[in-house]
């Protein structure tokens, strides 16, 4: 499976997350046309209906819009993309902090370790 999906979480949710990452990381640039449902479904090895549903969800959120005949495009609203990027990063940092807490690290120790790692 070329998209590396987990087998215990809904596929739909994972497709949405994957595309969100592609948008904030610039795999798809603002305003860029994205491949068709069929192409994306083939690339991800998932059901085209599930892919369609994920794209509709991203459209509802305003991250994409479709034009009747010419296809589906990434939003040109860079503020929106930046906001999503921050949300996604914050979520990951929160998860990370929880794991560090479970290892018994204090906020200070976490900060020091990160600073050390970033320098490398």
The least distance separating another protein from the CB of residue 51, rounded to whole angstroms, comes to 9
Cβ proximity to another protein: between 50 and 110 the closer is: 50
Nearest-angstrom CA–CA distance, 58 and 40: 14
The least distance separating another protein from the CB of residue 83, rounded to whole angstroms, comes to 27
| Cβ count within 10 A of residue 21 | 13
Cβ proximity to another protein: between 9 and 83 the closer is: 9
Nearest-angstrom CA–CA distance, 75 and 64: 5
Query: Which residues make up the interface to another protein (CB under 8 A)?
Result: 1, 5, 7-13, 38, 41-42, 45-50
Strand pairing class (33-34; 64-67): unpaired
């Amino acid at each position: 499976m070329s998209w590396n999906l987990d087998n215990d979480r809904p596929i739909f949710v994972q497709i949405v997350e994957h595309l969100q990452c592609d948008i904030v990381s610039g795999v798809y640039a603002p305003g860029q046309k994205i491949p068709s449902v069929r192409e994306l479904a083939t690339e991800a090895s998932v059901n085209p209906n599930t892919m369609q549903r994920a794209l509709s969800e991203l459209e509802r959120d305003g991250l994409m819009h479709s034009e009747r005949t010419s296809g589906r495009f990434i939003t040109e609203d860079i503020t929106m993309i930046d906001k999503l990027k921050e949300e996604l990063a914050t979520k990951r940092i929160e998860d990370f902090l929880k794991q560090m807490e479970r290892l018994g690290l204090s906020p200070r120790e976490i900060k020091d370790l990160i600073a050390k790692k970033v320098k490398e």
